[in-house]
Amino acid sequence: MAALDAVKDVSYLVCTLGRAAILNRNEPHGIDTINQMIEEGAKTFDGPVIAMPEPDTQHPENEWDVTFLSKTLLQLPPLIPLIAFQQILDGSTSVAFHLESEGIRHREISQEGTQKESVGMLCTSDLDFIMTWFGLIRMGVSVILIAPQCSAAAVAQLCKSENATQLIVHPNYLDKATEAQNMLRETGRTLTLTCTPNRSVWTQKSSKTFPQTYSNVDEERDSVAFFYHTSGTTTGMPKTIPQLHRSCTTAFPKILGGTPTLTMTPLYHGGGADLLRSLMSHSLLYIFPSSVPITADNMLRVFDAARRQNKPVKNFSSVPYVIKMLSEDERGLRELISMELVGFGGAPFPKEIGDQLTREGVKLVSRYGSAECGFLLNSYRNFEEDEEWLWVRSDVGCENLVFEDIKTQEGVAELVVGNKWTVLGKTNRPDGSFATGDLFKRHATKPNTWLYIGRNDDMIVMENGKKVEPTPMETSICASKYITDAIVFGENRPYTGLLLFPSSPDMKKEEVLEKVWPTIVRTNEISPSQSVISRGMVVVMPHGTIFPKSAKGSIQRPAAYKQFEQVIEKAYVDYEQGHSSTEKKNIPTQTDMLEYIHHKVKEATGLKDLKDDDDLFNLGVNSIQAAAIRNSIQTEIELKQKLRNNVVYEYPSVEKLSTHVWCKLTGGREEERDDNVKMIDMLDRHGNFEKISGEKLQRNHNRVLLTGATGGLGAHLLTQLMRDEKNTIIYCLCRASDDDEARRRVEASIMRRKLARILDADRVVCLSADLSADRFGLCDEAYGELKSCNLIIHAAWAVNFVGSLESFERQHVAGLQRLLHLSLTSTRSPSSFYFCSSGASVMNNRDDVIAEELPSTTSQAVPMGYARSKWVGEKLCERANSAGGDVHILRIGQLCGDTDNGVWNETEGWPLLFASSNHTRSLPSLEEEICWLPVDTAAKAVLEIVDYDNARGGSSDVVYHVMNPHDDTPFSSVLTFFRENGGKIQILPPLDWLERVEESEEDTVKNPSRKLLPLWRNIYSKETKTVKFDTRKAREASESLRQCPPIDEKICNKFFSSWRSTGFLHSVSQ
């Protein structure tokens, strides 16, 4: 009863289908078809239900009137210029007889099976449309409502898709219809064109009753009354969406007593649904005439015409840009404020404008729905107490709506409509549900409250795999009155750009950019870092430029990107080469340069408290922001030399970057130091440990300190440490805002890998820590507890292949030094220390087999910051040992999924390689051997090595290679396993496979493998040296490594099954 009480007093305008279902279950109205609705209405309600104000076409300056139907035509009482149910019934019946005489067949009761007749309608949104639409429905045919914005090809496709051989067309669109007719004729199909019956047809009351087209209501209720169609926003070609009779009647509420509403939406889209809903509730609907443009002045004429009929408009329903237009007129704003509610949908509403209107007293209501599933959610609320007009609610009647979390975006979910929802014109999941593709952000504090942020298929995926939501950005930027539209671009690019479409022809492009730039800056400030738009990537288009849009006004993104392909390409070329139409900046002194670089970094990153010597990499500056900084400098300053693409990571502070750019500007020389020298200098800065005295004795490692527990190896190490009862306490250091968040992050890590449900609260202590800070930022008591640990395993290190050596210094190299100092000063002095390193630290070694030995020369490290920092880390361990420590280095090999569940991180290279088969149906024939090591085996091996060393009272063996000793499994065998597991693929030479990947689905959300194309091109387009690692010492210490089998079919099948269970790898049937 509580649910019923919650929906009883709600207007039909904000009664979602979920609420309607509650109402109809308790108080069924018994109407199941559109024809039944009109017939019942004619019997029981004689009030007006439709009104369309009409301008005086001869004298447009005159006041408008509401459509008048004379007494002689439809027996209306004089002076009632409004349409009632009886007039709809009579008019649609007359149209039905007329269309039958024009050769359109009505459905006969004797016909068996489903309806076979479909008829297209390409008409203007007017009273002729309504009578023709309902006349066709009375004939029992399915009507395809085609938006006039459709191209001739789209019209032809829509008719073809439903086997329509007849198209009713308004004279305005006869040329388009004829072109569609010719297109179909070339394919051997016939399309007969019939003009829309005009007023002289439907105002002539027929003396006959149109014959029944269905034997009973039950048969008609499950038949298709008409088709909406998609806008083609993502595909470029619209598709039909069937609407059953019961979807438009049985599922709708019947809530009598509604106040008059004006809809601005065309009848072939949302206006049609508005009309059907108002008819079900016997409410008056004013329909904006299609014969005049939508302007504030024309809308005010409608309000005036309605008042003259003593039936003033009380509710307003439109798309956002129309509301924005009306609100910019002083009187229009007063009209909006006077409304009982102002509903909007179909496109995003600029938040700044909506907030202002709400403060002014406009009762804005977001109405969210789709042609596939009807009216789903809205933001109707207590207007006096709640101003969150943009957030839709999923409280009452939403049991069949599911918000599925997007794994890669925290707090973001996709709406999925369950298979028991009352209206499902389309399904796209095996269980009969419909994934809308619409993304919502969860409210931080209010349950069942959501913010629409865009479409999954609208998402822009950057070159580095980061995702950008263009719709909220475009909506925010369009709050500026100086533009009509904005398009964000950046698919498969390193950073985003923007097209602006001016609202006035009188402004120069530079003026437009100057006026809109503050709005872009505000948008950047509230957008994720990867979305930030640089000034140099803003392109102002010529005034009046037209691009593909849906009837609702949303961007047809793929088609728009295709249209502006050359403009976008030129924007990137000019930006990256430093070309700009704006005047170059004059920077006279090095101090000015420092200030300029400081400003550019803050502008691109949004960093508030930025010091000139802060390491940008450690502050979280990502590759997109780094590229934006570099390109802004290159564009705005006339440099004597071009900046390197990676310049921000090579000079990762404002101070270093400004010095470098100043030298490029002036031609001066800067002190350049070779990275090999920097490695030694860094080692010297952090490698001074005081010698300790003490013997390395056999001890029980019962107090453990672990870093990296949120990573794969660390999570398995923690799980296995918990299983060993001798470990009385395990401390996990984790980057987090507080200890509670640290615990949540660690628990989420082990649960994600199916390792455990909760941590042992008595034995596992998670601490929020910063390895770069003195004493890790811990209080004296907590740090004192860590000093009692007798085993430290350090498995935390950022895997980043673009950061410079210096970028690893503060957090990682210095963090390692602090941990080593802790081990040397432990109350169990010295505690055993194990550093998880990487083969990259020595992979540049010229030896055919790399020994389990300490590195000797800096040149042994792979020439990148990550590998060089690991080299420095290993040398720090060597110096700590020389100071009396018990320190060991574990070079970890290529890890794979675990032996129990096969869970393998789906963002890594090998999994993404296999996932490429989803779209290419192929994999490469790589000439290499596989030596993957299961991550749980690696964790066991680490702990076995610890026990081995401890049993010997400390080992002289410092370096261990924790790698699979078997490197003799050909990749061809893995491909065979994949095929036998159901992978129906071709095996291709690597370059041929790469071609297929390049030609596959470009959306890296759907096809994440494309993100690694640059890497794969680099690896597989040239010969590479195979490096082998000696594992004898590690195998001697570890039973798990000794017993570790080669990669075989059994474990590979676990990887494949795990990937298929998450949808990462398509199922065999797909």
Average pLDDT for 640-653: 79
pLDDT at residue 45 is higher than 50 = yes
99-103, 110-114, 537-541 — which one is most confidently predicted on average? 537-541
Asked whether 51 and 284 are in contact (CB, 8 A), the reply is yes
Tokens of 893: 């090999």
Q: What's the confidence (pLDDT) of residue 292? A: 77
| % of residues, the chain, pLDDT over 70 | 89
Average pLDDT for 339-360: 88
Terminal CA-CA length for the chain: 45
Q: What is the three-class DSSP state of 891?
A: strand
pLDDT at residue 883 is higher than 80 = yes
pLDDT at residue 36 is higher than 90 = yes
* H or E stretch covering 540: strand 533-540
Tokens of 85: 């149910």
Tokens of 631: 């390109």
Sign of the Cα pseudo-torsion (961, 964, 967, 968, in order):
positive
Q: What's the confidence (pLDDT) of residue 114? A: 47
What are the sequence ranges of the domains in the chain? 31-257, 459-561, 590-672, 914-931+964-1070
Average pLDDT for 812-830: 91
pLDDT at residue 48 is higher than 90 = yes
pLDDT at residue 531 is higher than 90 = no
Give the amino acid at 300: L
DSSP 8-state class, residue 23 = H
Q: What's the confidence (pLDDT) of residue 835? A: 97
Residue 803's nearest CA partner among 858, 758, 861, 867 is 867
For residue 809, with 0-12 CB atoms within 10 Å meaning exposed, 13-18 middle and 19 or more buried, which class applies? buried
The residues pairing with 435 across neighbouring beta strands, listed in sequence order, are 416
pLDDT at residue 314 is higher than 70 = yes
Poorest-pLDDT segment among 16-30, 94-108, 637-651, 920-934: 637-651
pLDDT at residue 206 is higher than 90 = no
pLDDT digits (tens, 9 = 90+) for 942-974: 999 999 988 887 667 799 999 999 988 899 999
pLDDT digits (tens, 9 = 90+) for 63-86: 666 554 433 333 333 333 589 999
CA distances from 7 to 19, 24, 26, 37, 393 (A): 6, 10, 11, 22, 14
pLDDT digits (tens, 9 = 90+) for 263-277: 998 899 889 999 999
Residue 379's nearest CA partner among 337, 407, 351 is 351
* H or E stretch covering 241: strand 240-244
Q: What's the confidence (pLDDT) of residue 541? A: 95
Alpha-carbon gap, residue 712 to 714, rounded angstroms: 5
Residue 1000 dihedral angles phi and psi, to the nearest 5°: -80, 180
What HEC string does 656-674 produce? HHHHHHHHHHHCCCCCCCC
Could you tell me which residue, 965 or 456, shows the higher pLDDT?
A: 965
Outline where 578-674 has alpha helix (H): 590-605, 623-636, 647-650, 654-666
The residues pairing with 654 across neighbouring beta strands, listed in sequence order, are none
pLDDT at residue 848 is higher than 50 = yes
Question: Could you tell me which residues come within 8 angstroms of residue 133 by beta carbon, excluding any fewer than 6 positions away?
Answer: 121, 143, 145, 226, 267, 272
Assign 157 a pLDDT band (cuts: 50, 70, 90). very high
Tokens of 9: 């007093």
Average pLDDT for 577-582: 65
Whether 31-257 and 459-561 share one fold: the answer is no
DSSP 279-303: HHTT--EEE--TTS---HHHHHHHH
Sign of the Cα pseudo-torsion (853, 854, 858, 861, in order):
positive
> Greatest CA separation found in the chain?
115
pLDDT at residue 1014 is higher than 90 = no
The residues pairing with 243 across neighbouring beta strands, listed in sequence order, are 226
Q: What's the confidence (pLDDT) of residue 260? A: 95
Poorest-pLDDT segment among 825-829, 871-875, 990-994: 825-829
Assign 697 a pLDDT band (cuts: 50, 70, 90). low
Q: What's the confidence (pLDDT) of residue 71? A: 31
Chain mean pLDDT for the chain: 85
The residues pairing with 967 across neighbouring beta strands, listed in sequence order, are none
Dihedral, CA of residue 255, residue 260, residue 262 and residue 267, to nearest 10: 50
Assign 1061 a pLDDT band (cuts: 50, 70, 90). confident
Assign 233 a pLDDT band (cuts: 50, 70, 90). very low
Top-level class of domain 590-672: mainly alpha
pLDDT digits (tens, 9 = 90+) for 208-225: 777 777 667 888 899 999
Q: What's the confidence (pLDDT) of residue 671? A: 58
Tokens of 728: 């009385």
Assign 672 a pLDDT band (cuts: 50, 70, 90). low
Poorest-pLDDT segment among 99-113, 331-345, 898-912, 974-988: 99-113
Q: What's the confidence (pLDDT) of residue 69? A: 42
Q: Which residue has the tokens 């051989």?
A: 165
Sign of the Cα pseudo-torsion (199, 205, 210, 216, in order):
positive
Assign 802 a pLDDT band (cuts: 50, 70, 90). low
Average pLDDT for 978-995: 87
Q: What's the confidence (pLDDT) of residue 1069? A: 43
The helix-helix angle for 296-308 and 320-327 (nearest 10°) equals 80
Could you tell me which residue, 558 or 100, shows the higher pLDDT?
A: 100
Alpha-carbon gap, residue 708 to 722, rounded angstroms: 15
Q: What is the CATH architecture assignment of 31-257?
A: 3-Layer(aba) Sandwich (3.40)
DSSP 8-state class, residue 108 = P
DSSP 980-1022: HTT---EEE-HHHHHHHHHHS---TTT-GGGGGHHHHHHHHTS
- pTM, full prediction: 0.52
Q: What's the confidence (pLDDT) of residue 258? A: 86
Alpha-carbon gap, residue 786 to 731, rounded angstroms: 8
Assign 647 a pLDDT band (cuts: 50, 70, 90). confident
CA atoms within 13 Å, Cβ hemisphere of 882: 10
Average pLDDT for 131-153: 91
Q: What is the CATH architecture assignment of 459-561?
A: 2-Layer Sandwich (3.30)
pLDDT digits (tens, 9 = 90+) for 180-197: 999 999 999 999 999 999
Tokens of 1016: 């794969």
Question: Could you tell me which residues come within 8 angstroms of residue 891 by beta carbon, excluding any fewer than 6 positions away?
Answer: 837, 838, 839, 841, 842, 852, 959, 960, 961, 962, 963, 1029
Assign 1067 a pLDDT band (cuts: 50, 70, 90). low
